[in-house]
Chain A
Amino acid sequence: MFVVLAGAGSFANTAAWRKFLMTQLIRDTYRYRELIWALALKELKIRYKRSVLGFLWALLNPAFMMLVLTLVFSTIMRFPIPHYAIFLLSVLLPWTFFSQSLSYAVESIVTNGDLIKKVAVPKLVFPMAALVSNIINLLLSLIPLAILVPLLRHPFYWTWIYLPVPLLALAIFTLGMVFFFAAANVYYRDVSHILQVLLSAWFYVTPIIYPLDMLPARYRWILKMNPIIYVINGFRLAVYYGQLPKAPSIIASFVCAFISLFIGYSLFRKYQNNFVFYV
């Protein structure tokens, strides 16, 4: 027992371990947690500054959006899907988080360029802060959804308690993408425009407004190439169907999430010391 612990201790001290990418990410995130949190709060504060209702808008915005969607889909456009609003929102909210985080973060290094040129500040805090502020928004938007579910007489499933798991996978997946696009945009400002095009196309190839089984079975493999399906699938299952995803689907979601994080962060880390020359 003692030998094992000593062995683990010396492993933790080796340079190889310290160089391991994910260890660095976790260490830096922990070290700069106060700064990341302060920047995220700053972003939210500024978004709602000088409005009478202030922070309440973080709740009212998704609430009004849901109200509109519910009215539209229960009266004007009718789908053969019961409680379509819940069906839609259960995936639309995580998707909105994903696309908003990317839209904010893609510019995060460039807009903080003045700061980067003057203070020795760790670059990862800017995309991280964009992600954190959007996580707060996503969590707040789940509150009006939880109110809407019983209002529409949709069953409130116990599977809601499973939501932290897909939330974690989604956050990790998004973080990787955020790192990738924030870094790429420093070198080519076209990236932020390409991202918008990419996101709107991606929205339609993801089963958000339609169910996965709407497509004929022989084309369904195309959708299965889309990594975000696995990541957001858990939301619809838990909220709308009251089911838990099967183990392979959960594993696939975390595999996709960590691949995204690995690629995004290794690129970001490789180029971060040069950002200052290009912003």
Chain B
Amino acid sequence: MSEPVIRVENVTQRFRLIQERPDTVRELFSKTFRNRSSYHDFEAVKNVSFEVPSGQTLALIGRNGSGKSTMLKIIAGVYRPTTGTVTVNGSLAPLIELGAGFHHELTGRENILLNGLLMGYSKREMLERQQDIIDFADIGEFIDSPVKQYSSGMYMRLAFSVAIEVDPQILVVDEILGVGDIGFQEKCFERIRRFRAAGKTILLVTHDMKTVEEHCDRALLLDHGNLIADGPAEETVAMYKTMMIPEAVGAH
């Protein structure tokens, strides 16, 4: 519980937003001549620093568009930050969008292998774990059918199983814990608990404050890309709730 497995230092992520893409040639011409700069820069994450010690379960909370998912993607290596550095020690499995690497025409079994390779595992490792993944997903004979024939629940179950059964040291989860029926959800949380018991690190983005309070040691509160609170899960959640009250009242 000492050596940090994730170290985020002064990370800023800037996006260039294109505004009003011209749809027709005529529009293109009129836009080009009137106003040349049709984009503006937007900072999704502003100078954020934190460390995650090994074995901690950490939640990122905040309203929509506060930069939580961007932060996760930077840690998962999807974005290279505009400035600042991110250091990750250990294998990391991103559950950012379930089934991102799935191809509809391929069978569940074929997708397990492809998805694993995309996450950086070897073919041998994936074949060794194949049976565990199939058992955890528990979708019966559908495993040998193309995934386009799956129900959305089955699709999620398989995708979740691939990510969780590859046994990473760090698990990065983005708002996907509520997939499947109640039975499968319970199985997922059970797996998260085992994961924590095994001393592994979890990074979680969710809007479900009950999950945060129940499963997380610590929570970070992001607002407009700024890190505004960092502390024990209950305290940060309480702060987030007080922050949101005026808005909820104002909406009425």
Residues of chain B within 8 A (CB-CB) of A35 are: 117-118
Q: Count of chain A residues with Cβ under 8 Å from any Cβ of B?
A: 19
A129 to chain B, nearest CB (A): 11
Which listed residue (B80, B101, B106, B122) contacts A119, Cβ 8 A?
Answer: B101
* A152 at interface, CB cutoff 8 A: no
A43 to chain B, nearest CB (A): 10
Residue of A with least CB distance to B114: A38
How many angstroms between the C-alpha atoms of A277 and B41 in the bound complex? 12
Indicate if the CB atoms of B15 and A119 lie closer than 8 Å.
no
* A120 at interface, CB cutoff 8 A: yes
Q: How many A-B residue pairs have CB under 8 A?
A: 55
B152 to chain A, nearest CB (A): 17
Determine the main DSSP class of B at the interface with A.
loop
Indicate if the CB atoms of B117 and A49 lie closer than 8 Å.
no
How many angstroms between the C-alpha atoms of A276 and B119 in the bound complex? 17
How many angstroms between the C-alpha atoms of A46 and B111 in the bound complex? 13
Residues of chain A within 8 A (CB-CB) of B120 are: 120
Indicate if the CB atoms of B101 and A46 lie closer than 8 Å.
no
Indicate if the CB atoms of B78 and A277 lie closer than 8 Å.
no
Indicate if the CB atoms of A120 and B78 lie closer than 8 Å.
yes
* B113 at interface, CB cutoff 8 A: yes
Per the 8 Å Cβ criterion, residues 129-170 of A in contact with B are none
Counting chain B residues whose Cβ lies within 8 A of the other chain, the interface size class is 20 to 34
Indicate if the CB atoms of B118 and A45 lie closer than 8 Å.
no
A177 to chain B, nearest CB (A): 25
* A218 at interface, CB cutoff 8 A: no
A119-B117 in contact given A45-B105, A49-B105 (Cβ < 8 Å)? no
Residues of chain A within 8 A (CB-CB) of B103 are: 42, 46
Per the 8 Å Cβ criterion, residues 37-75 of A in contact with B are 38-39, 42, 45-46, 49
Per the 8 Å Cβ criterion, residues 17-37 of A in contact with B are 34-35
Which listed residue (B100, B106, B123) contacts A115, Cβ 8 A?
Answer: B100
Residues of chain B within 8 A (CB-CB) of A224 are: none
Indicate if the CB atoms of B105 and A118 lie closer than 8 Å.
no
* B94 at interface, CB cutoff 8 A: yes
How many angstroms between the C-alpha atoms of A262 and B105 in the bound complex? 35
Per the 8 Å Cβ criterion, residues 98-141 of B in contact with A are 100-101, 103, 105-106, 110, 113-114, 117-120, 122-123
> Please, could you name 13 A-B residue pairs with CB atoms under 8 Å apart, sorted by A?
A34-B117, A38-B123, A45-B105, A46-B105, A114-B100, A115-B100, A116-B78, A118-B78, A118-B94, A119-B76, A119-B118, A121-B118, A276-B78
Inter-chain pairs besides A35-B118, A119-B94, 15 sampled, C-beta below 8 Å:
A34-B123, A38-B123, A42-B106, A49-B105, A114-B100, A117-B78, A119-B76, A119-B100, A119-B101, A120-B94, A120-B120, A121-B101, A121-B118, A276-B78, A277-B79
